[in-house]
Amino acid sequence: MDVLFKNVKIFAPASAFHLQTSNLLLKNGRIGYIGYDATDAEKVFDVPGLCVSGGWFDMHAQITDPGFEYKEDIVSAAQAAAAGGFTEILCFANSEPLLQTKNSLLSLKEQTRSLPVTFHPVGAATVNSEGKDLTEMLDLQRHGAVAFSDGESGIQQADVVLKALQYLQITDMLLINRAEHVKLNERGQIHEGLVSTRLGLKGMPALAEELHLTRDLELLEFNGGRLHVPFVSTARSVEKIREAKAKGLQVTCGVATYQLAFTDETLIPFDTNYKVNPPFRSEADRKALIEGLQDGTVDILVSGHTPQDVENKKLEFDHAAFGITNLETAFAVACTYAKELPLETVLEKMVVNPRKILNLPLPEIEEGAEANLTFFQPEQSWIYEEENIRSKSHNNPFIGQQLTGKVFGIVNKGQFILNDPVNV
């Protein structure tokens, strides 16, 4: 089916059409024409304030299938990602069985082949993600792994991190390692500070992140290689990354968009939907994250999507699991709570930089190119209604809230997915 979008603003820095408003015709999953001559098609959209960019890429979402399908399965994850504007996502080794064999990687690729969202597997860095013995990384790479990580478990032993960096240099692959000193965070519930003291909750000190990060950066400087820190949450972490980049180290980092929205003060009502790891920290830390995004120290914005079922979330605060679902709201949260960030900066962190970090091709907005696109309305206000949630889990603090920045739909793999097909 031919689909024509009229008067759509194009965001594609590598294209001659960047920042132009034009008509865009899609034909059989490809961009058939860009300009004003095309005015007719089988389906025509002329939506006020509509913009288009290359498809968004989420570098950190927990996909708990197989093993924990009651939280999120592959189909529901794809539906949630599409609703949030993501055409591609990283799939970490946080399933059972883990993504640590060629068969598990091939199975994931086969199961997701027909879905409108592309799943890129991240191979486990260590056997069973126990942080001890390295997996067969080269074999996993040959069968589709785009990076290596122990996912939500940061590798605690320095010698293992060093060996992983050395091994991955052979093929210029990326190590993704969470910055968390587990022992320092043991039994922690929220950021360690005045609020944790007032609430009587065990704190998670900023030092737990910063100490682990400092160690990994020292190892990177000693050995070389490429390191990605999936989450930074403190001002000092941002400064350490900034200093490392000034030295020429190949380090990148990300921040979940919800970290730009809240501080530890938000947790005073004991709402478990705000319980995340790394935790919400101080207002100074929140501002430092935004400054890091503005000056390029922080490379990407991620959803940090962590689905949790009711039995794991609706409990006393100290028993509840960590995590927020955010695939469907990630862009809107950034637009709503970090107004200091220009739209072009947000898109750079969600379209361009993730693919640069992973050495993956950037979608083109050119005539004849395969369509891998996200359509969105950056100024559109909307309410995230619980009955419209695509994710299986509903542990999201933005339910019922008015947000700014609405995803209209995506095009990928020849499939066109609209967010609200009835009312357009």
Residues 377 and 333 in one domain: no
Kindly tell me if the per-residue pLDDT of 279 is higher than 80.
yes
Instruction: Show Cβ contacts of residue 381 under 8 Å, excluding neighbours closer than 6 positions.
Output: 402, 403, 404, 406
Q: For position 423, what pLDDT does the model report? A: 43
Which H or E run contains 190? strand 190-191
Q: Are residues 321 and 239 in the same domain?
A: yes
- Residue 82 resides in a domain: yes
Q: What is the DSSP string of 380-423?
A: EEEE--GGG--SS----TTTT-EEEEEEEEEEETTEEEES-TT-
Give bridge partners of residue 407 from the DSSP assignment: 376
Q: Please tell me whether residues 325 and 375 are part of one structural domain.
A: no
Q: How far apart are CA 278 and CA 373, in angstroms?
A: 31
pLDDT at residue 178 above 80? yes
266 and 241 together in one domain: yes
Going 55 to 60 to 61 to 64, the CA torsion angle's sign is positive
Cβ 258 vs Cβ 233: under 8 Å: no
What is the predicted pLDDT for the residue at 269?
A: 85
CATH number at residue 107: 3.20.20.140
> Residue 242 and residue 246: Cα distance in Å, rounded?
6
Nearest-angstrom CA–CA distance, 329 and 394 = 12
SS3 for 378? strand
Q: Is residue 224 part of a domain?
A: yes
Whether residue 44 contacts residue 79, with contact meaning beta carbons closer than 8 Å, is answered with: no
The pLDDT, as a whole number, for residue 355 is 98
CA distance 343 to 52: 12
Report residue 101 CA to chain centroid gap: 24
Domain closes at, from 336, 358, 380: 358
Identify whether residues 378 and 320 lie together within a single domain: no
118 located within any domain: yes
Please give the residue range of the domain that contains residue 199.
56-358
Single out the residue in 358, 388, 406 at which a domain terminates: 358
**Mapping DSSP to helix (H, G, I), strand (E, B) and coil, where does residue 379 land?**
strand
> Using one digit for the tens of pLDDT, what is the confidence trace for 374-396?
999 999 999 999 999 999 999 99
Give the end of a domain, one of 358, 378, 406. 358
Residues 247 and 288 in one domain: yes
Q: Which stretches within 4-143 are classed as H helix?
A: 74-83, 102-111, 137-142
Please check whether residues 219 and 337 belong to one and the same domain. Answer: yes
Q: Which of 29-43, 168-182, 314-328 has the lowest mean pLDDT?
A: 29-43
In this structure, what CATH number is given to the domain that contains residue 402?
A: 2.30.40.10
- Residue 308 is assigned to a structural domain of this protein: yes
Helix ranges restricted to H, 224-352: 235-246, 283-295, 310-313, 330-337, 343-347
Residues 230 and 379 placed together within one structural domain of the fold: no
CA dist., res. 76 & res. 284, Å (int): 36
Provide the domain count of the chain. Answer: 2
Task: Determine the angle formed by the axes of helices 206-223 and 235-246, rounding to 10 degrees.
Answer: 10
- Does residue 411 sit in the same domain as residue 276? no
Query: Taking 50 as the threshold, does the pLDDT of residue 422 lie above it?
Result: no
| E strands present in 46-128 | 51-54, 56-58, 86-91, 118-124
Give me the mean pLDDT over the 318-340 stretch: 97
Residue 421 has pLDDT above 70, yes or no: no
365 occurs within a structural domain: no
Is 219 within a domain?
yes
What lies within 8 Å, CB to CB, of 127 at 6+ separation is 100, 133, 134, 135
Indicate if the pLDDT at residue 49 is higher than 90: yes
**Within a domain: 363:** no
Q: Give tens-digit pLDDT for 249-258.
A: 999 999 999 9
Domain presence at residue 424: no
Q: What is the mean pLDDT of residues 106-120?
A: 94
Q: 303 and 413: one domain?
A: no
Q: Is residue 411 located within the same domain as residue 342? A: no
Calculate the average pLDDT of the chain: 94
**Could you give the CA distance from residue 1 to residue 366 in angstroms, rounded to a whole number?**
19
What count of other Cβ atoms lies within 10 Å of the Cβ of residue 316? 8
138 & 259 share domain: yes
pLDDT value of residue 361: 96
- Please tell me the distance from the alpha carbon of residue 143 to that of residue 137, in angstroms, as a whole number: 10
Angstrom distance (rounded) from CA 368 to CA 15: 13
Question: For residue 235, what are the contacts with CB-CB under 8 A and spacing of at least 6?
Answer: 284, 285, 287, 288
- Residue 186 — pLDDT band, cuts 50, 70, 90? very high
The answer to whether the Cα torsion of 138, 144, 150, 154 is positive or negative is positive
